[in-house]
Amino acid sequence: MEASEQNKATARAVFEIWNTGETERLDALVASHVVHHDPHDPNSDDGLVGLKRTIERNREAFPDMHLTVEDQVAEGDKVATRWRGEMTHTGKIAGIDPTGRRVTITGMALERFEDGKIVEGWRNIDALSLYQQIGALG
């Protein structure tokens, strides 16, 4: 399989881990020293350990989380992914108590690969829409 196709498959596998919560699978897909650039993630400076923590905390707030890859483009050592998520807010997140509301969010990820693993990522979600849907903005 061509490297860019393998990188796309790896990126999709990471999205599947967000869905299942099987964070131990990340060890084979993401470098331990991965650097994440995410303005909404308090764990982004903590490498692979931080990524696992972020997934676990989001799944605590949204245990039925399901992310769907909508589009992917690969070039060189990078993969861009546009995704959509559907979930129910049944746990506390960012100090906001559970609302039981069903929400849909969208986001983009750009990931850089070395030796078949993600070593750097830029993630962005529509946080404003998320907070509006759970009633956090008044």
| The domain made up of 3-133 is a member of CATH 1.20.1050.90 | no
Whole-angstrom Cα distance, residue 63 to residue 118?
25
CB atoms within 10 A of CB 2: 8
**Of 12 and 95, more confident:** 12
- To the question of pTM greater than 0.85 for the whole model, the response is yes
Tell me the average pLDDT across 31-42: 92
**DSSP string for residues in 85-97:** EEEE--S-BTTBP
The Cα–Cα gap between 69 and 17 comes to 13
Residue 138's pLDDT band (cuts 50, 70, 90)? low
What burial class does residue 124 get, using C-beta atoms within 10 Å of its C-beta: 0-12 exposed, 13-18 middle, 19+ buried?
Answer: middle
pLDDT of residue 21 exceeding 70, the answer is yes
Domain ranges (residues) in the chain? 3-133
pLDDT at 79 (0 to 100): 98
Exposed, middle or buried: residue 85 (CB in 10 Å: 0-12, 13-18, 19+)? buried
Of all residues in the chain, the percent with pLDDT exceeding 90 is: 88
**58-79: average pLDDT:** 97
Pseudo-torsion of CA 126, 130, 136, 138, nearest 10°? Answer: 70
